[in-house]
Structure 1
Amino acid sequence: MPEIRYRSSVRLSNNQSPPQGTALNPPMSGFNGVRFYSGSREIIRDEKRLALVLKRRELESRVMTVDQVADRILQALRDQRGFSIIRLGDAEILTLAQDTVFPTSANVPIWGDLMAELCRDPLLGKGDNNEVVRWRDMMHASGVNYPDLQVRDQLAQAVKSASLIGIPVSNRPGRSRAHLKLVEGFQTVLLEELKLLNLAPEKMRFGDSALHYLLYTSGWMNRILSPGDYPQIAQRYSFSPGYKPGVLLVGNRAGELADLMGPKGLRISGVVKPVNLGNIDESLAAISRHSFDIALMAAGIAAKILCSATAERMSRVAIDAGHLFDLLVDHHRHLDHQRTRIPYEWML
């Protein structure tokens, strides 16, 4: 298991005062921590907070485009080598924070105040409708029986071995300013977690945590699952005409999605269900009994663990598809990406 250290220096403080004033023509630089522009009209008077702002910008600058990610997936399919994509949203980042960034001895809603202090930003707030009170429920919905340090460590190992990690970014159309401020907080916590795991962001590959939706709505998912039907892709990546990789669907709704995808001509290699954090070993054994080229997984935090393990142990492409299963099965009942809207309201 990866080594994780508890960050004990984050604690509640009532001594911080909020930044003063706004700027109609905000300054782009500062001197001795007096005035710094953060990207909005807010003036930052704290050098350490400015450093965090710059680290978050640097992190987002490393997020690959959906075209770049699709290219990596197709290369891995062509070369028959492992490639895993996992995504970290609020539940995953909170799970990793257990007794590392935030103490489990404190009620989870208190973590919102600790996050604000970590960010040195008293304006961070609680998101829309006091989102912090739902944080424990978010972890539970992803399968975590909080507190659960074993799952934390399993997820940390998945992060360490993943080929590409989807992370929250500031491009969230339709979300409120309060929610986007909270995204900044989660990015800061994630940076702290990577540091505690001895992972250097500059040596990692990142995508948008909405990558599962972006791959689908851009049309790339259809091309990845049927590359031989697209002459330019088949030629570029040396796939034979008509080639379709074997697709393994993993998750509690995998059977329903197979019923939708099979009649569309996709090559479904099998279904693995049920899947949860309590049957990881059994699920891995079931996955290993199938012959497939690419696995799409939707099983909360269990999917992150399974994706990384499948790519590493079986040299297959494994993609954390999250709520894409629900979107297709419950809301669309079709595979027409042009008629699909990304449900940003569902995510961080």
Structure 2
Amino acid sequence: MTQIGRRHFMLGAASAALAGPKAFASPTATEAEEELQIRIENNSVPELCAEKDNIELDFFSERLRRMQIQAVHPSYISMIGTDRYAPDWSSCDLSHDPKFAAQARRLTFWETPEFWLTGYTFPSFWRPNAVPVRVGDRVETGFHLVQLWMSYRERAEEILVFYPPDGYWRARPLPFEDMRWTAYGSSFLVGPVEVQQRPIVDFQEIAFEPETRTFVLKFKRGGGSARIRLDKIDQERIALDVSYSGAMPDDLPFASLRSMYAMQTMSDAARVAWRTKRGANWQEAEVIGFPGANATELWVGRHLPSRHNLSAPDMVFGKFQGPPAVAARTDAR
């Protein structure tokens, strides 16, 4: 990538100050007319354990073929003096979680001067690690976690991570201003989300296309696929362009957000805001009591600082689009 190209890539997502849903510009009349409204169901449950994902927002639409996912620094990011990111196991009992043993390893299996992929295999994980990860002709199997790293300001920055065995993804922007690091928070799933003890996406294969910085997901359920392209990243947000080959099988969600909430100040996600098609304003609710909604855009995050993953980003789902319009054919007779 040239210096000009790199600068364009880095600055492409620059926008207004990040203050929750108000920071996102209202769509133009044309954009509003083209927006697809999707259904969001809240399947969250109360939970005391701060390390268990009890927040589950499921996204449904038979017509959905494209969307954007953003991870955005929280509105209070500039006020953080000392970050909090250590786990809190004080109210947790994970003794009944399944465990599959594996040989631990770490491997950087693709790299350029600016981006690289590093995979990890843990000594144990809750699901078998059999999903192949492909880059060109190279195929690696057995990773529990794969990180996408980026070189920025002469430092290595981890910007995206995914778990091949269960389909969970996490994203974060580059560190804000002079911060050296920020935490991950909420996770998301892309694809036919089904429940196998917990919500997952089951893959046949995950491939990475370096030229376009795109992950290609091939699903076991229904045989479809999706593409997650790293669109823009800077010190405010990371934007991912997500596209699907077709509708989800068996009326399954096309995506889900997973997070944790014990209380407002012990959470990775505490509030929800959503916008409806041609709606005059944003609507807001506490995430645990969110009734679900039909929406064209959804913000999930925090207004108050949390003792858990203080610097973790808010998440924004939007730019939902249906299948491309088919041009009318003219009879040549």
The TM-score normalised by the length of structure 2 is 0.22
Q: Which has the higher strand share?
A: 2
Higher relative contact order (CA 8 A, sep 6+): 2
Q: Report the structure, 1 or 2, having the larger helix content.
A: 1
Larger Rg belongs to: 1
